[in-house]
Amino acid sequence: MVSAPAPRRWVLWACLVVVALLAVAFFGVACSTSWARIALLHTVEPYALAVHQQLLYNFADSGSFSQTIHTGYDDAWTWSGHRAATLPLVGLIYGLVPSPFFLTAIVIGAVTLGVIPAAGLGAKALRHPLGMVVGALVYLGCPAVMGLALQDYQDLVFALPFLLVTLWALRARRPWWVLLGALLGCLPREECIPVVVAAALISFDPRWERPWRRWARNLGLAGGVALAYGLALALLFPVHATSHDMPMAASLGSWVDPQQQLRLFGMERLESFYALAWAPVGLVGLLAPLVLLPGLGLMLMHMTVPWGHGVDRYWSGHVHHLAPMVPFFVAAAILGGARLLRLARHPRLGRAGVALPWAVAGALLAYGLWWNMVWATGFNLVLSPLPRWPEHWHPAWGLVGPLPPDAVPIVPLDASLAVSARARSYTFSESLQDKAPGLGLGAGTHLLVHQDNSAVLAWGQAMPGARVVARADPYLLLTWTSGAVDPMVGWWEDPPTRIQSWPYELGGERRLPGVPPPPAEAEPELPILPPPVR
């Protein structure tokens, strides 16, 4: 399997075709699942995807980032004060087809393209074109990779494919590849900058010619790129204070501040959540322990984030903070698997060394395929090898879809995604008071409301010239006289009843395609910690 010194050209092309087919199938499953969730407004966090989409919509339209769909946040660059160079790059592509479906397809496409450096790592490790197939199978077959691909739009998800390029480039002979790989690794978000340096630190390989000199070159080039990029961000785009919870920053503070008590809150989910980053064959990565080290460090850091501070510990929730960790686990599994196959054909095994690598590879492949099919069924993935348009839709799409481009809809929070591909749109339960103070419903042109939400329905009916223009049970769409002033301005500051979003019922007991299962157990309450000793 790995012994042919000069494989025939058809072997190379056959391996390339297999890798391409695997990538197409991954892209089809991920897009079909993501789009089914978007159609039902049942994404990881609908308002977060809505915010990102409106930021990108306005950037593509006017060249500036702004959003009115959600209250607060620093919108000058990207949501919640992060500095992600990928955001304007994605904005240029997103402007071609402004839609949440296309936006998630961009992220999924980038994750899918991570198969290229994964295949390159496999080919280098096995020294044979079949290594490309091994790398592709390990990468695309990792449930954590699919979980990150389904993270709606989160700029940090780009760390998965980009850091894999970094890990591949650090093994390239030419320094230009190292420079490019280091730069790509820094782009997704500022927290990736030290991860690039960590990748260079573990890039030593004794099989290289003059390994210490090459290792020093990697560290110097990657460290120089990271330092220059970090300084450029600090000088050109300084981070302003934000009230948004930044989990990794809080975690880092607990590591460096002796006054804070360091606790591994996530340890209780080690086997149920974190173990999925190793599945299905990631334990072979133990044969490449050096590559695992940065990933293990990032996993420990993630464990120190307290419950309720912006991270989830189930793969249908917020897991994008693990995107910088997964590349190290995947790379270790590829390199460790290649080492296992090389050991299986050791000359001392004699004739057994001819068949044993194929037997080991076949066993790992069979187990991986079985495990992934079980997981895909349990996670309710839409198993379509090509992108498939959704069959089930939330009624909000049918109501707001026909609105003219200059309409300014005001909607429940759970329907914000349906109206975020607009320059302005509001949520009556959150952003309206913050983004359009003193205007009330006069800031918009239409109101989407659940028929049982009597307080908000009465608010809309009080507008001059109010009338129902469309209905799709259980929602109503109201409009009023253009430019009308809200006679009930300010009532929601002390509303007689709570303003509710009234989420749409997703078919009762029936599981609709793509909708992930609820977490097996609820996250515990925030722990009450003793005050630090001073």
Tell whether 160 and 279 lie within a shared domain.
Answer: yes
Q: Is the residue at 449 inside a domain? A: yes
| pLDDT tens for each residue of 418-465 | 999 999 999 998 889 888 888 999 999 999 999 988 889 999 999 999
Rounded Cα–Cα distance for residues 24 and 387 (Å): 9
Tell whether 242 and 324 lie within a shared domain.
Answer: yes
Tell whether 151 and 204 lie within a shared domain.
Answer: yes
pLDDT at 438: 87
SS3 411: strand
Tell whether 123 and 176 lie within a shared domain.
Answer: yes
Q: How many domains, in total, are found in the chain? A: 2
Q: Domain of 269?
A: 14-378
pLDDT at 528: 39
Tell whether 112 and 167 lie within a shared domain.
Answer: yes
Q: Is the residue at 281 inside a domain? A: yes
Beta bridge partners of 427: 411
pLDDT at 216: 93
Rounded Cα–Cα distance for residues 226 and 220 (Å): 10
Q: Is the residue at 7 inside a domain? A: no
Q: Is the residue at 230 inside a domain? A: yes
Q: Is the residue at 404 inside a domain? A: yes
| pLDDT tens for each residue of 461-476 | 999 999 999 999 899 9
The count of C-alpha atoms lying within 13 angstroms of the C-alpha of 508, restricted to the half-sphere facing its C-beta, is: 1
pLDDT at 193: 92
Q: Is the residue at 346 inside a domain? A: yes
Tell whether 175 and 314 lie within a shared domain.
Answer: yes
Q: Are strands 475-479 and 446-450 parallel, antiparallel or unpaired?
A: antiparallel
Give the type of residue at 243: S
Q: Is the residue at 8 inside a domain? A: no
Q: In what order do the strands lie in the sheet with 467-472?
A: 426-427, 409-411, 446-450, 475-479, 467-472
Tell whether 246 and 123 lie within a shared domain.
Answer: yes
CA-to-CA dists, residue 276 to 2, 147, 362, angstroms:
29, 10, 22
Tell whether 441 and 410 lie within a shared domain.
Answer: yes
Tell whether 279 and 419 lie within a shared domain.
Answer: no
Rounded Cα–Cα distance for residues 456 and 478 (Å): 11
Tell whether 220 and 264 lie within a shared domain.
Answer: yes
pLDDT at 448: 96
Tell whether 400 and 343 lie within a shared domain.
Answer: no
Tell whether 189 and 309 lie within a shared domain.
Answer: yes
Q: What are phi and psi of 380, to 5 degrees?
A: 65, 40
CA-to-CA dists, residue 510 to 42, 384, 507, 513, 515, angstroms:
14, 20, 5, 10, 10
Q: Is the residue at 9 inside a domain? A: no
Mark the ranges of the chain whose per-residue pLDDT is less than 70: 1-6, 73-81, 239-262, 308-309, 494-498, 506-510, 520-534
Pairs from 253-261 (Cβ < 8 Å, separation ≥ 24): 254/304, 255/301, 255/304, 259/532, 259/533, 259/534, 260/532, 261/529, 261/530, 261/532
Q: Are strands 426-427 and 446-450 parallel, antiparallel or unpaired?
A: unpaired
